[in-house]
Amino acid sequence: MSDYKIILYLCNWAPHTAYHNLQDNGYQIPPEIKMVRVSCTGRITKALLLKAFEMGADGVALVGCGPGTCRYGTGTLNAVNNTEDTERILELAGIGGRRLRFATFLPDDTEPLRRFLAEFTADIKTMGKSPVVPMGKVPAETTEDPTSLADILKKHDAYACQDCGKCTSACPLALSGKPYSPRALVGAIAAAPPLSEAVIRDVWACLTCGLCHERCPSDVDFPEFIRDVRSWIHARQGDENQAHGGFFQSLMRTMTSPEISPGRWKDRPADLIADPEGKTLFFGGCAPYFDIFFRNHAGLDTSRTLFDAVRLLNFFDVHPRLLETERCCGHDLLWSGDRQNFLKLARLNTEMMNDLGIETLITACPECYRTLSLDYPRHGVKPAFTVMHLYEFLEREIDKGAVTFAPLEHRITYQDACRLNRLSGVGALPRKLIHRLMPTRFTEMKDSGAASICCGNCAWTGCDAYSKAFQVRRIRQAAATGSDLMVTSCPKCQIHLRCAMEDPFLGRELMMETADLTSVIARTIRWE
């Protein structure tokens, strides 16, 4: 019996008739193919395509109706776009884009369908087994997860909550109108298990932005508390509150497979200079995957930040090592409760970089910075290298006084990244760099610095209409400063705020140019 597994998502209309005719004529469907009958291939999202690989598929075929014959109008176009995007991500992640295929057939296309099934099966066998280790095939690892909610409450001293409500009065989610209260959530968890459905829903709605912790007179670290509660729930009943169908959680879990061979930097511009033997590593993060997944957002190009970061390092004669085999740091797995797979990624990344003798790791991503420098050691994974944010490096070099900046013909304001600002304590550094630039004007938003509000999502969980409402609020705050450029420091701020700007009902009211601080510095910095 073949040990290959090929998932065939088959449209219920034209191709299913052809498939049925094949069987009626005595054709034996290759045993590797497991057919899943679907109402329309346009309903098979990128998340479902990737999930099949996460669960152990060696190949996936999406077979639907031709353009102009789809019963749902745009089903074929959706299927084409979803397949193309997922193919590119599979290729980038080192799984293999050719393992995914899209084809269309009419009811009479019996022979073409037979040839397709035979040829695709042969192609997959030629490629060999998928490098992804199926979830559920690996024994559970022991983690330091607390065994009870009482342990988590005690660990974070949540019993010290004074029930004053200052957290709720500051929570941006509560202020957006959502019936949500950090104070009430702590109280409900402390009351006694089992947790109600409302409590579980709210645990994943929390933005973990840390503003409540900032205001708490008892110093209850609410983000860390929520993260541990999520881990406790995830280990017992999973998580159904993931945005985008759980695509990014699936992608991160596939990266825990040791045999995949990502090509993270293969599309980098030719002008970037890297040292393949260097001891200083630039860690890029997941921006290339975001750009493919969200390619329909106007002007989204978060990879540009990575390329500009390397250009800035080159500007100061640093030629960093770039690892094609770089994997996600695991931030979103940790903060969405999947601590077991976070630890797998942390160990893979750390062992790989330690073996290469990396001495200094520089990153421009707030989440990678926080995760690599703080969360890895806190979870028992000890990097043998120093972690530095790019802003620290730039401030040190610029402070030497050999550079200046071209005038920036923009009135700018700044959107803080929570992981860099409140959760890593590096909020002052980007402002110091901004003041070194020569903008027409720099104006802080109403809520800024220690009081800043986030971009509306945490680790791809809990995104809903309320998240959108306060993203709109944030953009309006930026516009109220009279600025024409919003500078950010996190790729996810770009994604979420640009998403809100595409609100079809508010139209151009929300449109505002955005750019990452790294890119702004890269395009204006000059030698004196």
Q: Would you state the pLDDT for residue 297? A: 77
CATH number assigned to the domain covering 6-127: 3.40.50
Domains 6-127 and 149-237 share a fold: no
* 8 Å CB contact between 491 and 285: yes
Burial string for 468-499 (b: 16+ CB within 10 Å, else e) reads bbbbbbbbebbbebebbbbbbbbbbbbbbbbb
Domain extent listing, the chain: 6-127, 149-237, 262-396, 404-527
The CATH number that domain 404-527 falls under is 3.40.50
What is the crossing angle of helices 197-205 and 222-237, to 10°? 120
Among 186, 182, 156, which residue's Cα sits nearest to residue 171? 182
What is the pTM for the complete model shown? 0.94
pLDDT at 349: 96
Domain at 149-237, CATH class: mainly alpha
Question: Letter for the amino acid at 475?
Answer: I
Closest Cα partner for 280 from 310, 252, 303?
Answer: 310
Beta carbons of 452 and 413 less than 8 angstroms apart: no
DSSP sequence for 455-486: -S-BTTB---HHHHHHHHHHHHHHHHTT-SEE
pLDDT in tens, the chain (528 residues): 569 999 999 999 999 999 999 999 999 999 999 999 999 999 999 999 999 999 999 999 999 999 889 988 899 999 999 999 999 999 999 999 999 999 999 999 999 999 999 999 999 999 999 999 997 644 445 455 667 899 999 999 998 988 899 999 999 999 988 999 999 999 999 887 778 888 888 999 999 999 999 999 999 999 999 999 999 999 888 877 899 999 999 999 999 999 999 999 989 999 999 999 999 999 999 999 999 999 987 678 999 999 999 999 999 999 999 999 999 999 999 999 999 999 999 999 999 999 999 999 999 999 999 999 999 999 999 999 999 999 999 999 999 999 999 999 999 999 999 999 999 999 999 999 999 998 999 999 999 998 999 998 899 998 889 988 889 999 999 999 999 999 999 999 999 999 999 888 887 889 999 999 999 999 999 998
Nearest to 18 by CA among 137, 126, 110: 110
Helix or strand run (H / E) with residue 252: helix 247-254
The single-letter DSSP state of residue 371 is I
